[in-house]
Amino acid sequence: MNGERTVQKLLHIITTGTSIIRNTSNKCNENTQLTLHCTKLKKWSTSPPESQEDLEAGNNAHPGSPIFKAVLEAVAGDPKKISAELNALLTYAETRANEKTLEHKIILLSTDTGAGWFSTKIIEEFLKNMDTIPEQYIAKGHHHIAGIEAERIQLLGKDFAKGSINLLAKIKTAIAKHKQWADEILLNLTGGFKPETGLLIMSAGLLGANKAYYIHEYMSEIVEIPIIPITLAEPVKTALENARKGLLDHTTLEILRRHGILKPSEKEQAWLREIANILLKLKNPEKQKPSRKHQATQKLIFKIYM
């Protein structure tokens, strides 16, 4: 190919789960580096949030931990088999090669659990020292890691409603931060809890994502999920605008409760303002306001509470 390669910049926002712990616990007897850690890995793979085992997993989420080193080595040996998230990322990157140089920025969003954070930090450590992804992991194209961030989302995996709002808030912030850099904003929804994944698919049109993709950890085919343009319908939009201003009259509260945005007895002003700011898709003051045509393409079709 003559001339300079076209550079395509992709921002991957990745929800992370615990497939790394589950898969290494299943294979630990086959790997001499993992054998010493079999008991812990098996306990961590089934531990509920905030249990002693889960806290132990979180306390080992750093490169100085022997079990962290052993799991990281296993991931480096076969990332697609050990990590569902990396399987999706690397496989998707291959599908986008097409003689272009791809730059990938990666944001990892963890559940508020020790096991989730351990798995997330393994992925971060695996990727963070890579400038170019080697051919042993991606056979096609030229792929560079332009940056990687990892964040533990407060209450995610513990409280569906509030954890989900914190997740949406973080994604919105990340998109605003990297929007000028990225040619495309992608949600990798392979990992994490499925109810939250469903919420993200439905709200992606509000947040500014371009595409979502998914791969089953035992399959090799990537599925792209279309982002459906959505908007806030009345009377929810007006109720949220009132909540953002702190105008919580009886009618506003009843509308929010009827549509599942508030629980029947709930009345939290700061909480409502956060919901309103996210769902109304407020822009930063220095950013250009969205056009009326753009605003008209969005429609709210989900409830905050299951």
Q: Are 161 and 255 found together in one domain?
A: no
Structural domain of 73: 7-225
**Domain count for the chain:** 2
Average pLDDT of the residues of the chain? 83
Residues 5-32 have pLDDT tens digits of 688 999 999 999 999 999 999 988 888 8
* CA pair distance 188, 205, nearest whole angstrom: 15
Residues 155-201 have pLDDT tens digits of 999 988 788 888 888 998 899 999 999 999 999 988 877 777 777 87
Q: Are 261 and 181 found together in one domain?
A: no
Residues 79-136 have pLDDT tens digits of 999 999 999 999 999 988 876 789 999 999 999 999 999 999 999 999 998 999 998 8
Q: Are 111 and 258 found together in one domain?
A: no
Tell how far CA 132 is from the center of its chain.
23
Maximum separation of any 2 CA atoms in the chain, in Å:
67
CATH code where residue 61 lies:
3.40.50.10770
Composition of the chain by helix, strand, coil, percent to 5: 45, 15, 40
**61 or 250: which leads in pLDDT:** 61
pTM of the model: 0.81
Q: Are 167 and 93 found together in one domain?
A: yes
- Looking at residue 264, its pLDDT comes to 63
Chosen domain end from 194, 225, 256: 225
What is the β-pairing status of strands 211-214 and 184-188? parallel
Is a pLDDT exceeding 60 seen at residue 304?
no
Q: Is 302 a domain residue?
A: no
**Degrees, nearest 5: CA angle 27-32-33:** 90
